[in-house]
Amino acid sequence: MSLSSFSSMGYYVGGSSVPAPPTTLDTFYSQSYFSFNAENYNAGTKTFTDLSPNGRNKTFSTGSPTIVSHTTVVNSFTTSKTYNVVSGTKTDKCVLFPSLFGPYTFIAVSRRTDGNGSGSLFNDPNTSWIAGYWSNWSGVAQHTSSFIAGATSDRYGTNMWLMTDYNTGFRRNGALLGTSNNLSIPINSGINCYSSGGQNFNIAEILCFNSTLSTANMASIETLLATKYGINLNS
C-alpha cells in the first residue's frame, strides 16, 4: 500500500467520501521512508533500527549515544509521561540523508539539553537546512537561506518538542508557525551534521516520508505522538 492509498480509506461526511487518516503509528511506520524511536535503538551498536519495511537502519559514525529514562515536567504544553530517549552530546553524529533528498516530511519528538553552542540538532553541513533547533532557539527551521517560524520561551527545554518540518512549512506541537519554499534536504544531512557543531540532545522519535504529507496526515501523526509522549498540541 502506498501513501496515495491513504485516500482510499474513506469515510462519509455529508454524503461524500473524504480521506480518513490512518489511526495507528504502526500504519505510518509502514508507509514511511524511515522511522526510528528510542525503543528500537541499540546502544551497543549505536544503531537506530528502521521501523519502516525499507531496512534503512542508521548508525552513529561518531560518539556513542545511550538510552536514558526521561520524565516530562507538567507545564502548559505537557502532561507527565515517562519513557526512554536516545541521549547524546554535540559530538555524536548520524547521517540520515547521505544523498540529496527530494520532497519530504520530517517529524521528530526531541529536545536539546543545554544552551551552549551555535549549532543545531537536525541539520546539514552547509546550514541550508535546519529542522527544529538553532543556536538558543527551540521551534525554528531554516530552508535554504531563510529562517521560518520563531523561537520559543522554553529555549533549552526540560520537555520534548514535537516538530514537523516539510518542504513548504514548519509546525511545532501541531501549530503551523511559518511557510517557505524548499524542495529538498541537502546531501549528508542528519543529526549533528553541521560543520561548526551540534547540540546535546534527547531523541524519542523520528519519522520521515519522501513526500509532503497532507495536513490531515500530519495532524494525525502529531496526535498519536502527542498522546504517546504527553505533549499538548497547538502550544
CA atoms within 13 A on the CB side of 85: 24
The answer for residues whose C-beta is within 8 angstroms of residue 121's C-beta and 6 or more apart is 110, 112, 132, 133, 191, 192, 198, 199, 201
Percentages (nearest 5) of helix, strand, coil residues in the chain? 15, 40, 45
The answer to the question of residue 8 being in a domain is: no
What is the CATH number for 107? Answer: 2.60.120
Per-residue pLDDT in tens (0 to 9) along the chain, 235 residues: 344 334 333 333 344 455 566 779 999 999 999 999 999 999 999 999 999 999 999 999 999 999 999 999 999 889 999 999 999 999 999 999 999 999 999 999 999 988 666 678 999 998 889 999 887 788 889 888 788 877 777 767 789 999 999 999 999 999 999 888 778 999 999 999 988 778 999 999 999 999 999 999 999 999 999 999 999 998 7
**Rounded to two decimals, what is the model's pTM?**
0.89
The answer to the question of residue 55 being in a domain is: yes
- The pLDDT value recorded for residue 3 is 46
The answer to the question of residue 31 being in a domain is: yes
The answer to the question of residue 83 being in a domain is: yes
CA 179 to mean position of chain CA atoms: 17
- For 27, the grid coordinates are 500504519
CA distances from 77 to 32, 172, 213 (A): 27, 11, 24
Supply the Cα-derived Rg of the chain in whole angstroms: 17
- The pLDDT value recorded for residue 127 is 80
Domain range for 62 is 22-229
Cα separation, 21 vs 218, in Å, equals 9
Cα separation, 29 vs 42, in Å, equals 18
Amino acid symbol at 31: Q
The answer to the question of residue 7 being in a domain is: no
Question: 156: which strand partners?
Answer: none
The answer to the question of residue 1 being in a domain is: no
- Expressed in angstroms, the distance from the first to the final Cα of the chain is 33
- The pLDDT value recorded for residue 144 is 82
Amino acid symbol at 168: T
- The pLDDT value recorded for residue 20 is 61
The answer to the question of residue 13 being in a domain is: no
The answer to the question of residue 6 being in a domain is: no
Number of domains in the chain: 1
Do residues 141 and 170 lie in contact, with contact meaning Cβ atoms separated by under 8 Å?
yes
- The pLDDT value recorded for residue 50 is 98
- The pLDDT value recorded for residue 2 is 41
